[in-house]
Amino acid sequence: MSSGPIELLSRARAGETEALGELCALYRNYLRMVVRTGLGPRLRERVELSDVVQEALVEVVRQFPQFTGQTEAALLGWLRRLVGQKLADLGRYHSRAKRAGGATAVPLDAAPDPGGGRGGEEGGRLLDMLSLSQTSPSQAVSQREQLVLLADAVAGLADGEAEVLWLYYAEGLSFEAIGQRLGLSRKSVRGIYARGLKHLKRTMEGPPGGPLRYDDGSASQ
């Protein structure tokens, strides 16, 4: 995919279906991260992440003519609003389904279970902990939004590494709790965490000693 987001925006607005498809592909990983962050622990039990992402992409195509922004930042904000609308619709749907079945409705923003992770509202911690230094950005970061690059970098990790990093940073689980969920020992989880963070750092080209620094988790565990 050689075209940049602004060029793709221009071509898509000119009616090029292929350009709109490339634009959707360019932000698929970002949408996946936003959806997973916003789902929350209870709604996540009721829907498939990939299905929600696909539905969000359908909405992107359907509502694209309404988007008037000119920058990638504006596009990301618009995508987040579309995801928010989709998640709100899902929350209302499942609340109605629960009421119809005589059970207690679960709102979209329901608090996580005691002892569990901090849920979607704390998903930004992953971005905060893995963000690049603003003082010495790489050439890639100067051209693209950091959150998009981070989403692509996380998607490029081995499945186990991506899952452990997400559970640790976004859901706030300890190594022990992650191990219980994944059926692994605490030592194994800690090793996967260390490898994943190292690989993510290498991909994102974070400067040594900056916010994206290697940490084996020993200080907080």
186 vs 50: CA distance, rounded Å: 28
Write down all domains in the chain, each with its CATH number in brackets: 1-110 (1.10.1740.10), 122-214 (1.10.10.10)
Dihedrals φ, ψ of 118, to 5°?
-85, -5
Residue 180: predicted pLDDT? 96
Tell me the pLDDT tens digit for each residue of 94-138: 777 665 554 433 333 333 332 333 333 334 455 555 544 333 344
159-181 burial: b if 16+ Cβ within 10 Å, else e: ebbbbbbbbbbbbbbbbebbbeb
153 vs 25: CA distance, rounded Å: 15
53 alpha carbon, distance to own chain's centre? 11
Sign of CA dihedral 48, 200, 116, 109: negative
The per-residue pLDDT string of the chain (221 residues; one tens digit each, 9 = 90 and over) reads: 457 899 999 999 999 999 999 999 999 999 998 898 888 767 777 888 899 999 999 999 999 999 999 999 899 999 999 998 888 888 887 777 665 554 433 333 333 332 333 333 334 455 555 544 333 344 444 446 778 888 898 999 999 999 999 898 888 899 999 999 999 999 999 999 999 988 988 887 654 444 443 344 544 55
